[in-house]
Amino acid sequence: MSYVNFVKKYKLEIAMILPLLLYILGFTIYPIIQTITLSFQDQYTKAFTLANYREIIGKTEFKQAFFNTIALTFISLTLEMTVGLVIALILRRNFRGKGLLRSLMLVPMGVPTLVSGVAMTYIFGLYGYFNALLQKLHIIEMPVDWASGGFKTLLMVSVADMWKVTPMVILLLSAGLESIPDEVYEASNIDGATAWQTFKYVTLPLLKPSITMALILRAIDAFRIFELVLVLAGRATPVISTFAYDEYRNYANVHTSAAASTILLLIIAVFIVSYLKIAGTKEER
């Protein structure tokens, strides 16, 4: 079929899909190209340069932000996947009150990320509920300043992130569990496998594709973490996105901000490619 005929035959379809395509091209692809271009431009002469990258890599804040982003992703993912898996396994059973418990566990989905950050500031504040609880249990004497930076701030942000996204992990893993046929469990039951053995040798291997997908999707989100860190940790604990924002808003430097964004983009691209690789091999099977 010639090009003209194709257009003639599908002119309605083309008209229907074109606005969406153009918008994505103009408002997503083009800005990303612009960001990458800006990151390689000299601030004054607009000539090609690597100076922006050199500048941010030389900054302590960026090194911190880079390390924090990776540490946060690692801690949050470990927490979320563990808790999410345990709850998804529990919700696979049938027991009285399951519907109510399930609804309650999905409550964080109905809370905007920004608001979850606000609620966490009341819990992890210097005179917040968590310090008060630890003091009542005589675990600590003096209140801990969770937002002062370092590992404890990373832990606080990870817990906040975990609270917000564990429901999503539960849903992702539940969908994976549902796809495991009951016969498999019956067979392992007949063979006299214990609960732990069933989990280790039946559930976990069969759930591995869902876990991998959930991990990659969650990792992409965790690398982009922005408002939670902004609200909870301020500038004491930067991540790559808050660093990029800071460079733009407070130092008015578009080019270094773009360089930080480009690095983030690169990390995410690596994850997207690995997702495609895994999804691809799954399909071939």
Partner 1 sequence: MREVNISEKISKVAYIPIAIIAAILMVIPVYILFMTSFAVPSDILKPHPDFFITRFTLDHWRSVLASGNLWPPFRKSFVVATITTIIAIVMAAPAAYVIARMPSKIKYPVVLSLFFTRMFPDVGIALPIAVQFIRLNLMDTYLGLVMAHLIVNLPFAAWILVGTFETIPKDLEEAALVDGTSKLTALSKIIMPIALPGIAVTAIFVWLNSWNEFTYALYLTISDRTLPLQIYYYVQRGGIFDSATYAAILTIPVMLVTFFLQKYMKSGYLAGAVKG
Q: Which of residues 151-210 bind partner 1 (CB under 8 A)?
A: 161, 163-168, 171-172, 174-175, 194-197, 199
Site string for partner 1, 65-104 (x = CB under 8 A): -----------x------x--xx--xx-x-x-----x-xx
> Is the Cβ–Cβ distance between 116 and 161 less than 8 Å?
no
* 4 lies in the binding site for partner 1 (CB under 8 A): no
Q: Which residue has the tokens 């399930």?
A: 102
How far apart are CB 150 and partner 1 at their closest, in Å? 20
How far apart are CB 267 and partner 1 at their closest, in Å? 9
Return the residues of window 117-156 that contact partner 1 according to CB under 8 A: 117-123, 127-129, 132, 135-136, 143
Pairwise CA distance, residues 245 & 77, whole Å: 24
Cβ count within 10 A of residue 119: 15
Of 114, 149, 116, nearest to 235 by C-alpha is: 149
By rule CB under 8 A, what count of residues binds partner 1?
Answer: 96
Contacts of 19 by beta carbon, 8 Å cutoff, 6+ apart: none
Backbone φ, ψ for residue 111 (5° rounding): -115, 120
Please identify, among the stretches 42-50, 53-61, 105-113, 148-156, the one whose residues bind partner 1 according to the rule CB under 8 A: 105-113
Tell me the three state secondary structure of residue 138: coil
* 1 lies in the binding site for partner 1 (CB under 8 A): no
* 7 lies in the binding site for partner 1 (CB under 8 A): no
Return the residues of window 31-70 that contact partner 1 according to CB under 8 A: 31-32, 34-35, 38
Contacts of 92 by beta carbon, 8 Å cutoff, 6+ apart: 174, 177, 178
Residue closer to partner 1, measured from CB, 56 or 231: 231
Exactly one of 272, 274, 281, 282 binds partner 1 (CB under 8 A); which one?
272
Residue closer to partner 1, measured from CB, 30 or 48: 30
Pairwise CA distance, residues 234 & 227, whole Å: 10
How far apart are CB 78 and partner 1 at their closest, in Å? 15
Pairwise CA distance, residues 251 & 266, whole Å: 23
